Chains A and B, each alone.
Chain A
Amino acid sequence: MELKSKIPDGPIDKKWEKHKFDLKLVNPANKRKYKVLVVGSGLAGGAAAASMAELGYEVECFCYQDSPRRAHSIAAQGGINAAKNYQNDGDSVYRLFYDTVKGGDFRAREANVHRLAEVSNNIIDQCVAQGVPFAREYGGLLDNRSFGGAQVSRTFYARGQTGQQLLIGAYQALERQIGLGKVKMFPRHEMLEVIVVDGVAKGIVVRDMVTGEVTSHVADAVCLATGGYGNVFYLSTNAKGCNGTAVWRAYKKGAAFANPCFTQIHPTCIPVTGDHQSKLTLMSESLRNDGRIWVPKRKEDCGKPASEIPEEDRDYYLERKYPSYGNLAPRDVSSRAAKQVCDEGRGVGPTRLGVYLDFSDAINRLGAAKIEEKYGNLFEMYERITDENPYKTPMRIFPASHYTMGGLWVDYNLMSTIPGLFVLGEANFSDHGANRLGASALMQGLADGYFVIPYTIGGYLAGIKPGTRIKADDPAVKAAEQAVNDRTDKLMSIGGKETPTHFHRELGKVMWEMCGMGRNEAGLKKALELIPQIREEFWKNLRIPGSGNDLNQSLEAAGRVADFLEIGELMCLDALERRESCGGHFREEWQTEEGEALRDDENFAHVAAWEYKGEGQAPVRHTEQLTFENVHLATRSYK
């Protein structure tokens, strides 16, 4: 397997412009002769499906939800970055590029990140034109706020529901194309296989989740925009349905999986309350604009109510350790700092796995009404879940799995190692390196969907003769369908005693403990023993009532858990082989005296992309060397 990144020549700020000109075009009259499948309808998938249909391609779009409007992008709260410099505070495309490369701890591709920063401004223009009601100042101009890892205010937001509003914008654009007959939408359909003919992606196999019917769709290109695999931890901020199945099916058909161990643990989530917990809820990073994070200085004070701990006995540890970024230190750094104080026994709340996020200073300074205007829905959500009033007592927060920077390897055109298979948004690996900055996921999803794939897909399709699609009765199609049906039969026939959730929870415990915020060789090796044991037990002792030819939520869950049980193993293997600490990947063996991540640029300034070699065979690790010509490799400091 060869990893050809296809980064264009020339200076960093001219690469995308040059590449757009160099890409071949498809004649407008020919566009309708090409069919493109888009799997996923979130920011990346929804934007891509709508934009490609506007260009004239025939598009089919698939999502597991009952409507494309419900994709998990909707849950993003805080905001979206763009280099508009409306605040006159020194922002620029170059600074956004620089911050993102540095924030990713120098493990992302410079050229991709620069393109992301360039199109960030187009995204805001597009969204405003669609009617996204971003927050505004009294003068009628757009408002901004700050997010972690940046010293400028470049984040655009719509109350605490930015993801919802951006997704509704993309969804409305998509529905417009559906109404015009340019996109055919398949909600409640789950992709279970990629059809590959002579090494080229030619279609997908999907299961209708209402009837259980398995059908194939053939096309000239396939785009996966299926999100991340953060639910491998069982408890995460992802929606319950988020899964890694589509990317894992593609991996098993020959798409390389890049940096699977790069996962983001978000510092500000509501802590776990008990074994019944089914998911964790994020409290937006934007809260750190006004909230101050602290724990008691002394262990003995941890059981007391926050109000009884005087100012001098509080440790505002982020402000103390990182004075220049303070409470807006990046996510990986903040999460690790929270873990450290809890490991020291200074955590708060009934489980002692929590730190305070305190708004009392901001409420005194700005008044409760101003805080409510900025964060009202978040405060309300917190109160619903915890039964505590954050206007009166500080919030309690703890880190949780939130995002996966790793994903399918793609070249500059967003094409995977399977020609014709493109990967967009969180599902690919390309832009965030080892740590994603806040408000950059929305930016990347929309960049890929609105402004990258509409160009690069043309470059690919122009090389295919129109009308040469495979037929629906092609042997490759039948074989892919058979593989899906066999797998369903296998799952349905185990006849054991335990539920899919049971195994998912077991896997999650291993992943969180051994491949979570801190990782070490012994733990990862232990996880690599335990995961195959859980998997073996799964295939022996799983129970799924009902039938495969009907709506069956247990079967859906079981198929996803079966894939997580394999993804988790690859994550641990990747974490074991990456013998350095960078961003969200913290190997305890590699840290500075102050407990910060210690990179090894000599040996690991590369992307690790794993190639599937078959059932029971060890996957092969390939590397793509990263070169930093513009942002010079330096120790990342937020002090």
Chain B
Amino acid sequence: MSKHFNLTLHVWRQKNAKCDGKFVEYPAENISPDMSFLEMLDVVNEGLIRKGEEPIAFDHDCREGICGTCSMVINGRPHGPRERTTTCQLHMRSFKDGDSITLEPWRAEAFPVIKDLMVDRGAFDRIIAAGGFISVPTGSPQDANALPIPKESADLSMDAAACIGCGACVAACPNASAMLFVSAKISHLGHLPQGQPERYLRVRDMIAQMDAEEFGTCTNHGECEAACPKGIKMENIARMNRDFIKASLTYRPATTSGGGAG
């Protein structure tokens, strides 16, 4: 069995969006290197509850790196020190006895703090609602193999679709830009033939919503790609910008024709 060790946590505690927050120090004792980072926090929280103190609130759910719920900045890095790893998949073997660990929520104007390490990422849903889809009502499609799609296109689409919507890209960006997230969706749908009819409408509508949510703009720092637990590439942003320019140049307001015959 591996040796257990002790750590000191400096955790951002904030009662709600209206109150000010502050860092509070907690010891984390008898931690096994086989624990996940969130299991380490479970141990700390169990101790707090037994003492009658409020446990540290943090978002988490699947704990296998796919749901995108967990979201904390660990020692200044979204999801912590390990590349391409969500907080829930980070294990304590990445730390050593005596380490100090600072924990903060995602910091961005568009992601207001709800409590402690939890933030409101509803802005991401509103961006998808604005245009991050293919309009295809249930029951209308043709046979799935009627439209062959080159493997390369399907693979590129899948690479972008792997985004889990966690928001680490926003948290890592000095401008709190959401362009990696938005562009991943643009690429996911834009690489597929099914995504073509709404391609330019989609990019316009999603970017308009992104701006309305007050996310910053991309100035090519590249922090988003470095922080992304799913390896989403910055080339998606370049691709989105190309689509956006074309969409802007070719934009015509929709014309409405009056009632039909009958």
Contact = CB atoms under 8 A, between A and B. Distances in A.
Contact of B66 (A139, A164, A175, A545): A164
Given A136-B154, A384-B85, A72 B62 contact: yes
Contacts of B195: 131
A51 B138 contact: yes
A624 B163 CA distance: 45
Nearest to B35: A276
B151 A138 contact: yes
Contacts of A130: 133-134, 136, 194
Contacts of B20: none
Interface string B139-151: 1111111011111
A595 interface: no
B177 interface: no
B260 interface: no
Given A133-B157, A164-B66, A67 B125 contact: yes
Nearest to A387: B93
Interface stretch (B5-13, B37-45, B233-241): B37-45
A501 B84 CA distance: 30
B129 A384 contact: no
B251 to A, nearest CB: 19
Contacts of B57: 551, 553
Given A175-B129, A187-B122, A158 B158 contact: yes
A74 interface: yes
Chain A CB count within 10 A is highest, among B16, B32, B136, B139, for B136
Interface residues of B, number: 80
A128 B49 contact: no
A175 B128 contact: yes
A556 to B, nearest CB: 11
Interface in A220-241: 239-241
A69 B157 contact: no
A86 B145 CA distance: 9
B129 A179 contact: yes
B81 to A, nearest CB: 13
A241 B58 CA distance: 13
A84 B144 contact: yes
B138 A454 contact: yes
Interface stretch (A118-126, A514-522, A528-536): A118-126
Given A69-B165, A545-B54, A553-B55, A381 B194 contact: no
B145 A142 contact: yes
A171 B49 contact: no
B52 A66 contact: no
Interface in B156-172: 157-158, 161-162, 164-165
A329 to B, nearest CB: 25
A137 B152 CA distance: 10
Interface string B176-197: 0000000000001100101100
Interface in B45-76: 46, 48-50, 52-55, 57, 59-69
A629 B16 CA distance: 60
Given A140-B149, A277-B39, A172 B138 contact: no
Contacts of B122: 66-67, 187
Contact of A501 (B46, B48, B68): B46
B102 interface: no
A57 interface: no
A447 B7 CA distance: 49
A508 interface: no
- A67, A84, A277: most-surrounded residue (chain B CB, <10 A): A67
B124 interface: yes
B115 interface: yes
Contacts of A163: 66
Interface of B is mostly: loop
A545 B49 contact: yes
A52 B216 CA distance: 36
B222 to A, nearest CB: 22
A499 B50 contact: yes
A241 B141 CA distance: 35
Contacts of A129: 134, 136, 140-142, 194
Nearest to B164: A164
Interface in A42-86: 47, 50-51, 54, 65-70, 72, 74-75, 84, 86
B218 interface: no
A278 B42 contact: yes
B157 A66 contact: no
A180 to B, nearest CB: 9
Nearest to A238: B62
B42 A551 contact: no
A70 B61 contact: yes
Contacts of A68: 125
Contacts of B120: 66
Interface string A104-138: 00000000000000000010111111110111111
A543 interface: yes
B63 A240 contact: yes
Contacts of B93: 387
Interface string A452-463: 001000000000
A399 B63 CA distance: 18
A47 B69 contact: no
Contact of B192 (A131, A173, A178): A131
A141 B189 contact: no
Contacts of A135: 154, 158
Nearest to B38: A278
A70 B69 contact: yes
Nearest to A386: B34
Interface string A491-505: 000000111011000
A350 interface: yes
Nearest to A129: B141
B151 A136 contact: yes
Given A75-B67, A543-B52, A140 B139 contact: no
Interface string A181-193: 0000101000000
29 contacts: A50-B138, A67-B124, A70-B62, A74-B62, A75-B62, A75-B64, A125-B144, A127-B144, A129-B142, A130-B136, A130-B194, A141-B145, A168-B161, A175-B125, A176-B129, A240-B61, A240-B62, A274-B32, A276-B39, A278-B38, A350-B1, A384-B91, A450-B139, A451-B138, A497-B50, A501-B46, A550-B16, A551-B57, A554-B49
Interface of B: 1, 16, 32, 34-36, 38-39, 42-43, 46, 48-50, 52-55, 57, 59-69, 84-85, 89-91, 93, 114-115, 118, 120-122, 124-125, 128-145, 147-151, 154-155, 157-158, 161-162, 164-165, 188-189, 192, 194-195
Give 9 closest A-B pairs by Cβ, nearest first. A140-B148, A179-B129, A129-B141, A172-B133, A133-B158, A133-B157, A175-B129, A51-B138, A128-B144
